[in-house]
Structure 1
Amino acid sequence: MTQHHRVAERIGWTAGRNVEQDAVRAALRIAAIAGSYGISLSFFPAARSFLSEFYGLDHQPMEPGREVASIGFTIDPEKARFQLVRLNRLSAGLRIALFPVGVTENDSVLAVGEEGQLLSFGLGGSWHVGDSALEGIENLICGLAPRRLRESEHAWHLKSTAAGSPVVGAVQAALTAVYVLHHHGVYSARSVCLTVTSLRGIGAVIAQRSIGIPHGPLGEALSPIVRDVEEVLAANADGAGCEVKLAVEVPGVHAETAAGLVGFSARFGHVAMQADDLEVSLRVGAGAQTGGIHVRVVDALRGLQQMS
């Protein structure tokens, strides 16, 4: 038996533990309470599996944690009944289904996601505790640091001289992102969104256009997209005094990533003294910091950063 299993045994867990009957009753009661608030709780398989294995267990810390303080907790979904509205808002914000499974000693709610990951949320924010039920329980007991769930943006600069012109560089970067994001299963895109924003005054958007990516090899799409971008800029003083941004934000059917959860963009013109300076960025929503999408986004980001 591994140390991973022995840690969970400290709170009464054993391999094969099954209290499904009691767990289901508790889940149905909390679902009924949620219904009284107008909230529909889906008791999906991962939540049923978690509660069947861990329902009724609790932990009282007896020693310091390895990385952060060991946290006491109780696995009982009804303990989270006063946080159901907040849980519902978090689920909508992360764009993943959640089911409450318990609370911690500092009044944070423990919830399971559809992929079986264990999350927590409270006054200290929202956190990914573990990729699986057993891993999450162990991390809480041992005091291993969770991963914070919050939007992040990774930005870096490309040398415009390598591309010849900022327009060509931006389109090349966007098409590279289309390939990388598709390759890593984050999402497929068949269009890019061009936005031209004035740098004067309140920064009004003076032009916005969706440009389709022609079917066929991505390399052959470069010239027609560059031509479309240049036509828009020519109609708006060649983009002088403006920020020009190409965004790849249109998920397709290749992956199940929610629209807007992850987005790539390339922009130039935003730096007055270096108008041709090309900046690219990958925005990662809080919901992409957990589950299988997190691993795919990390791999995609590594591939994208090779452009610099």
Structure 2
Amino acid sequence: MTQHHQAPGWTGPTAGRNAEQDAMRAVLRIAAMAESHGISFPVFPAVRSFLSEFHGLEHRPAQPGREVAAVGFSIDPEKARFRLVRLSRLAAGLRLGLFPVGVTTNDSVLAVGEDGQLLSFGHGGSWHLGDSALEGIENLASGVAPRRLADSEHAWDVTPSAAGGPVVGAVQAALTAVYVLHHHDVYTARSVRLTLTGLRGIGVEVAQRSIGIPRGPLDEALSPIVRDVEGVLAANGDGTGCEVRLAVEVPGAHARTPAGLVGFSARFGHRAMQADAIEVCLRVGAGARTGRIHGRVVDALRGLRPMP
């Protein structure tokens, strides 16, 4: 059993207490309620472990929080029974497995994620409370600021070489991202998607093409991809008056990162006065702000930032 120090205001379990029987009854009842709504919640080992020790734990803040206001909570899956459909929708949006384990005194649902983390969902948004469920309830009790689960974009400019121009610069940036994302086990790309979007009016898509990345060293893939991109541009007025975007595509099936959760792109032509300027962007979905994928994305972003 996980050992912990009981904080002021906690009532219920103490370190080493085993509430497995009561906890599993509550889990089965929640599973039956979810099934009646046509939804389901997987019972991860982390859920069993956490509820076996902490089912029945109650907390009411006895002192101010360290960084934010301390929050009270009750660890009992059945107290979240009226939020099951909404929690299922949130899990689908985050592309993350969740199981409800209780509620807070500010009317949020507590849920354990598939990597063992503790999350909360309520009127104030969705939050990562701790990398483990125990860490999460201790953070709630002591008022440690949580991490918000929200989509984010990290964008910066890179300078194309005078000899290569924006096409070569954008392809180089995309291939660098292919390597970095694979190296940090975020996802392994097999293609890049070229999109030309007109800058007039509502931005009509002019052309789109998926370009495969040749097998072998990535530096040898540069020339064939550049030729393909230049061929598409030549067939569409050299891309004049268009935003040219190269996105590093996520494979249809990847064991570690759901498609659409993280994506990299490089674009140029989007600025009238600096048509050759290249902007690169790592888009991070809310579901990648928690669990093991969060650390891998942070490391990947650190590897991408040195782009000149």
Tell me the TM-score range normalised by the shorter chain.
Answer: over 0.9
The corresponding residue for 2:120 is: 120
C-alpha displacement of 1:30: 1.0
Q: Within 2, Cα distance between the matches of 1:302 and 1:196?
A: 29
- Partners of 2:9 and 2:62 within 8 A in 1: no
Moved more, 133-142 or 40-49: 40-49
| 1:64 equivalenced with 2:69 (yes/no) | no
Rate the CA distance shift 1:208–1:7 in 2: closer, same or farther, 3 A.
Answer: same
TM-score by length of 1: 0.96
Measured after TM superposition, the shift of residue 160 of structure 1 is 2.0
| 5+ residue gaps, structure 2 | none
CA-CA distance at 1:307 after TM superposition: 0.6
Equivalent residue number for residue 226 of structure 2 = 226
C-alpha spacing 1:43/1:163, structure 2 compared with 1 (3 Å):
farther
Give the superposition deviation at 1:31.
Answer: 1.1
Point out the more displaced range, 174-183 or 33-42: 33-42
TM-score, normalised on structure 2? 0.96
1:91-110 counterparts in 2 under 5 A? Answer: 91-110=91-110
Q: Secondary structure at the match of 1:5?
A: coil
The separation in 1 between residues aligned to 2:10 and 2:79, in whole angstroms, is 22
State how far apart, in whole Å, the 2-side matches of 1:152 and 1:136 are.
Answer: 23
Alpha-carbon shift at residue 6 of structure 1 (Å): 4.7
Partner of 2:276: 276
Distance 2:251 2:284 in 1: 14
> Equivalent residue of 1:161, what SS?
coil
Counterpart of 1:155, as a letter, is: A
- The answer as to whether partners of 1:188 and 1:253 remain within 8 angstroms in 2 is no
Distance between the aligned counterparts of 2:131 and 2:95, measured in 1? 17
- Rounded to whole Å, the distance in 2 between the matches of 1:220 and 1:163 is 18
Cα displacement string for residues 207-226 of structure 1 (whole angstroms, at most 9, x for unaligned residues) = 00000000000000000000
Percent of counterpart pairs with the same letter? 76
AA in 1 matched with 2:129 = V
Between 33-42 and 149-158, the greater mean CA deviation after superposition: 33-42
The answer for the alignment partner of 2:192 in structure 1 is 192
CA gap 1:289/1:201 in 2 versus in 1, 3 angstroms: same
Conserved? CA contact 2:112–2:118, under 8 Å: yes
How far, CA to CA, are the matches of 2:23 and 2:13 in structure 1? 15
Question: Could you tell me how far apart the structure 1 residues matched to 2:178 and 2:137 are?
Answer: 38
Q: Does 1:90 align with 2:78?
A: no
Judge conservation of contact 1:264–1:281 (CA < 8 Å) in 2. Answer: yes
Q: Distance in 2 between matches of 1:111 and 1:186?
A: 24
Aligned residues between the structures:
307
Q: Which moved more, 1:78-87 or 1:40-49?
A: 40-49
Matches of 1:163 and 1:189, distance apart in 2: 27
CA shift, 1:44, in A, is 2.0
Amino acid at match of 2:159: K
How much has 1:13 moved relative to structure 2? 4.2
CA distance in 2, matches of 1:240, 1:27: 60
Counterpart of 1:49?
49
Deviations 1:131-163 (A, max 9, x none): 002101110000000000010000000012367
Matches within 5 A, 1:147-296: 147-161=147-161, 164-251=164-251, 255-296=255-296
Q: In structure 1, what is the equivalent of residue 38 of structure 2?
A: 38
Q: Distance in 2 between matches of 1:10 and 1:135?
A: 15
C-alpha distance after superposition, 1:151-207 (max 9, x if no partner)? 000000001236731000000000000000000010100100000000011101110
| Separation in structure 2 between the aligned mates of residue 162 and residue 284 of structure 1, nearest angstrom | 31
Q: Is 1:111–2:100 an aligned residue pair?
A: no
